[in-house]
Amino acid sequence: MIIDGENFKRYVIELSEKNKRIDGRGLKDFRKPIKIEYGVSKNAEGSALVTIGKTRVACGVKLEVGEPYPDKPDEGTMIVNAEFAALASPEFEPGAPGEESIELARIVDRGIRESGAIDTKKLCIKKGEKVWLVFIDIYIQNHDGNLIDASALAAIAALLDAKFPKLEEDGKVNYKEKTNEPLPIVKKPTACTIYKIGDKLFVDANADEETICNARLTITMDENGTINAMQKGGMDGLEQDEIEKCIEIAKEKTKELRNYLKG
Amino acid sequence: MRPDGRKNDEMRKIEAKVGVIEKADGSAMFKIGNTIAIAGVYGPKPVRPKHLEDPEKVLLKCYYDMYSFSVPERKRPGPDRRSIELSMVIKNALLPAIFVKEYPKSQIDVFVSIVQADAGTRCAAISAAAMALADAGIAMKDIVAAVAVGRVNNEIVVDLTKEEEDIEGTTDMPIAYMPRMKKFTLLQLDGKMPADDIKKALELAKTSCEKIYEIQKKALKDKYLKMRENENKD
């Protein structure tokens, strides 16, 4: 759609002087609609489909029984994986996960892990022997920018939707029967990525805006305003003053996104 | 009587929608019972790598992928032997419907994701992909419709569920069919089937695919009717 990157960039910067965007939003506005649908994949223990504008991300949670790490014998574990499915964008290639999908998975992972969103002690079945492993798998369905925020929201939404499967007496998991017991989710971390275009700060960049962004900063916060994860991306640097501004923006926006979650 | 109470010639509830992935050149969703497939088409575009270019016809590439959480026991993300075979048979099921010589030196990519699985995923993938190709404006001779038939408890039935597939002695036959051209473009069989039953199974597949074909055509028309409505609104 965009042929001339430089002209497009000049246009976006000109608009931003008037706090305007190419799609009519203000710089600090998320696209609408923001939607979360739960239970979109019934074989998952929990699942959610997040829509932000035209960006759509599905996340599913699966549980398995496995061994704990030796240094944490009474805690379950979690693994986040992200698939940039090639159907979601002409920019994605089929094949093994690239660095961007791995980076995204790791940012989402840190937000959930470091906030203590999952009470991993409650995932212990038998100390030192058996714990629940929580697999959080993210699939991009349509890539129109800001995948990190959408994925982080999808991940916590899918966790909130998840119920334990039935554990039979022989120790096998019966995936056909879900219990009514929800996963022990005690925090709701959400992520906000702030994009720097020119010398202005934007939130929720769409795919076109992302192509001209010099730097971005993702900040994950829980409901207490504690920062659990940060990641600077892009080729340009950020000044301290800009980082402080980003934190102020993230405080407000992570809260706004959290309000879309159930429970 | 079948486990879920359906008649032998009764398919599960079907929903179809065209235009579900905005970034794709064509896209569609096909839901049959608890099986959901979404397909995205990109192209025609230049062939990469270039040495695969065919001066006379299009290079069609298909990728079938199951979401890790689409099945009761988590599947490792990414391709495996099964998905590579299915990608190939899906490609061969779609190719006869495409005017391949319209796109020399070009490539068309078809990506299908299985969001939720309860048997019949390759057939749902084909039904979704055929709609996505049509939505992308690819010149086509026909639309491909697909459904599994099979033999469950000595009865010939259509659209088996996972529960039926797991019954001892079940035979499963995934079929794709072009209703206008009257040609079968996917035919697989897994199990044991007396030769006399094959004819009956094919007949059932044909009439079922004709029903799917009507649903596919309606979904395609609905997208454009909706576009017209939106344009009139402006």
B49 vs chain A: nearest CA distance in angstroms?
13
> How far is Cα A42 from Cα B185, in angstroms, rounded to an integer?
31
Contacts 24+ apart (CB under 8 A), B203-208: B204/B8, B204/B9, B204/B149, B204/B156, B204/B157, B204/B158, B205/B147, B205/B149, B205/B158, B205/B173, B205/B175, B205/B177, B206/B177, B206/B179, B207/B9, B208/B9, B208/B11, B208/B147, B208/B149, B208/B158, B208/B159
B165, pLDDT greater than 80: yes
A137:B69 CB<8 A: yes
A263, pLDDT greater than 80: no
More reliable by pLDDT, B1 or B40: B40
In chain B, the residue whose alpha carbon lies closest to the alpha carbon of A46 is B69
Which pLDDT value is given to residue B21? 98
pLDDT digits (tens, 9 = 90+) for A67-110: 999 999 999 999 999 999 999 999 999 988 899 999 999 999 99
In chain B, the residue whose alpha carbon lies closest to the alpha carbon of A89 is B23
Residue B1 lies in a domain: no
Which pLDDT value is given to residue A5? 81
- Reply yes or no: is the peptide bond before residue B49 cis, omega within 30 of 0: yes
A133 close contact with B: CB closer than 8 A: no
A140 close contact with B: CB closer than 8 A: no
A142 vs chain B: nearest CA distance in angstroms?
6
Amino acid at B209: C
B67:A139 CB<8 A: yes
Residue B3 lies in a domain: no
A6, pLDDT greater than 90: no
Residue B103 lies in a domain: yes
SS3 label, residue A10: helix
- Structure-token pair, residue B219: 């979904």
Mean pLDDT calculated for residue range B141-152 = 98
Mean pLDDT calculated for residue range B105-128 = 98
Angle at A192 (CA atoms; ends A187, A197), nearest 5 degrees: 170
A135:B74 CB<8 A: yes
Mean pLDDT calculated for residue range B132-139 = 98
In chain A, the residue whose alpha carbon lies closest to the alpha carbon of B20 is A142
A41 vs chain B: nearest CA distance in angstroms?
5
Nearest to B77 among A61, A89, A137 (CB): A137
B73 close contact with A: CB closer than 8 A: yes
Residue B88 lies in a domain: yes
A90:B23 CB<8 A: yes
A132 close contact with B: CB closer than 8 A: no
A90:B42 CB<8 A: yes
pLDDT band at A3 (very low <50, low <70, confident <90, very high): low
> How far is Cα A91 from Cα A234, in angstroms, rounded to an integer?
17
Which pLDDT value is given to residue A234? 92
Residue B65 lies in a domain: yes
Strands of chain B (E only): list them.
Answer: 14-18, 26-32, 35-46, 59-66, 106-116, 145-152, 155-158, 171-178, 183-187
Which pLDDT value is given to residue A221? 98
A177, pLDDT greater than 90: no
B69 vs chain A: nearest CA distance in angstroms?
5
pLDDT digits (tens, 9 = 90+) for A195-205: 999 999 999 99
pLDDT digits (tens, 9 = 90+) for B65-100: 999 999 999 999 999 999 999 999 999 999 999 999
Which pLDDT value is given to residue B233? 80
Which pLDDT value is given to residue A4? 72
B109 close contact with A: CB closer than 8 A: yes
Mean pLDDT calculated for residue range B128-137 = 98
Nearest to B77 among A40, A47, A83 (CB): A83
pLDDT band at A161 (very low <50, low <70, confident <90, very high): very high
The CATH number that applies at residue B221 is 3.30.230.70
Mean pLDDT calculated for residue range A172-191 = 95
pLDDT digits (tens, 9 = 90+) for A228-259: 999 999 999 999 999 999 999 999 999 999 99
> How far is Cα A40 from Cα B36, in angstroms, rounded to an integer?
10
A1, pLDDT greater than 80: no
A87 close contact with B: CB closer than 8 A: yes
* ipTM of the prediction: 0.94
B72:A175 CB<8 A: yes
pLDDT band at A178 (very low <50, low <70, confident <90, very high): confident
- Domains parsed from chain A with CATH numbers: 5-186 (3.30.230.70)
pLDDT digits (tens, 9 = 90+) for A14-57: 999 999 999 999 999 999 999 999 999 999 999 999 999 999 99
pLDDT digits (tens, 9 = 90+) for B13-65: 999 999 999 999 999 999 999 999 999 999 999 999 999 999 999 999 999 99
**Residues paired with residue B40 on neighbouring β-strands, in sequence order:** B27, B111
A135:B68 CB<8 A: yes
Q: Which domain holds residue B149?
A: 14-233
A176:B72 CB<8 A: yes
Amino acid at A204: D
Looking at the 3D structure of chain B, how many domains does it have? 1
Tell me the percentage of chain B whose pLDDT exceeds 90: 95
B67:A94 CB<8 A: no
A41 close contact with B: CB closer than 8 A: yes
A53 close contact with B: CB closer than 8 A: no
| C-alpha distances out from residue B198 to B7, B152, B171, B175, B189, Å | 19, 13, 11, 12, 10
A135 vs chain B: nearest CA distance in angstroms?
8
Residue B172 lies in a domain: yes
Residue B116 lies in a domain: yes
Q: How many CA atoms lie within 13 A of B129 on its CB side?
A: 34
Q: With a threshold of 0.90, does the pTM exceed it? A: yes
B143 close contact with A: CB closer than 8 A: no
B140, pLDDT greater than 60: yes
A262, pLDDT greater than 90: no
Q: Establish, for the pair of chains A and B, how many residue pairs have beta carbons separated by less than 8 Å.
A: 91
